[in-house]
Amino acid sequence: MARLVRSLRAAAAFVDGAGLALIFTKRGIPLPSLWEAVAGRGVVPFAEAREDGGSTMTPEARMVWAWKDELAAERLACAGKHLGDWPAVVSLGLLPSLYALSGRRGAPDDFRDAVLSPLEREVAEAVLAAEPPVTAQRVRRAVGRRDAAATGRAIDSLQRRLVLTRAGTVEHDRAWPAIGYDVLARRYGDRLRRLPGPDPARAELAAAVRRSAGDGAAAVLVRVLGFSRAEAAAALAAGPRRGS
């Protein structure tokens, strides 16, 4: 039985070993999760009852809730909605391969060469111009938008496209700290100086997914990473490869 994660450094080591992991387990997505690394595969509740009739997070939930942000804040892993709509963590060793599939060069302003919606472009420029971490509220003010939902959708889309990433949290006067964002290629620029070509990148991603997802690897590559079925089959056949 694997030892349960009980420190931030151990959480970082878990991500390094997994390559790609979800924050919380998602039915139908056979990727490892930080939640299972902390709580195990038994039935551990996210919340528990208090004596006053309310509820509070379990110790395992508090650890995951804190570490998902601290991993990003301390640059121990790349965290955000980078795998579809699910909050996830990516090891810094695997990040160049994931980023290579964006087709961009790995510079902080390379999103200017991508096809973005007008709002997405405004949001990306606002985050690039600001001192990170930048909250969604600051982004809305910078782009002059009152529609929080639309701005939130743009931020999520830019995370999926690896333009933005989480950069920890920002304290404010509400109950929970606000999520802070940064331009991914600025935050991890030292990791993106040399990007592999598309085929080696897909092969390395496939190898990481196969280690954790086994027979479900092809489905994960297609559903989560956006490979075509032919690309998934070729990448899995190629085996692990590094370099460009």
Supply the pLDDT for residue 8.
Answer: 98
pTM: 0.93
Where in the chain are the domains? 1-93, 98-195, 198-234
Are 195 and 103 in contact by the 8 Å Cβ rule? The answer is no
Residue 108: pLDDT band with limits 50, 70, 90? very high
115-142 per-position pLDDT tens digit: 999 999 999 999 999 999 999 999 999 9
- Distance (Å, rounded) from C-alpha 157 to C-alpha 161? 6
- CATH no. of 98-195: 1.10.10.10
Give the CB-side neighbour count of residue 198, counting CA atoms within 13 A: 9
Neighbours of 45 (CB within 10 A): 12
- 164 to 22, 137, 214: CA distances (angstroms): 17, 15, 30
Return d(Cα 96, Cα 110) in angstroms, integer.
15
Model confidence band, residue 240 (pLDDT cutoffs 50, 70, 90): low
Beta bridge partners of residue 177, listed in sequence order? none
Per-residue pLDDT for 242 more than 90? no
Contact 58, 155 (CB under 8 A): no
- What pLDDT, in 10s, does the model give residues 161-196? 999 999 999 987 767 899 999 999 999 999 999 999
In order, the DSSP letters of 9-47 are: HHHHHHHHHHSEEESS--TT----BHHHHHH-SS---SE
pLDDT computed for residue 244 by the predictor: 38
Residues 158, 122: Cα–Cα separation, whole Å: 11
C-alpha 206, offset from chain centre: 17
CA distances to 82, 100, 163, 210 from 106, in Å: 16, 8, 10, 26
CB 157 within 8 Å of CB 120:
yes
Structure letter (DSSP) for residue 216: G
Q: How far apart are CA 205 and CA 200, in angstroms?
A: 9
Q: At what angle do helices 198-213 and 229-238 cross, to 10 degrees?
A: 80
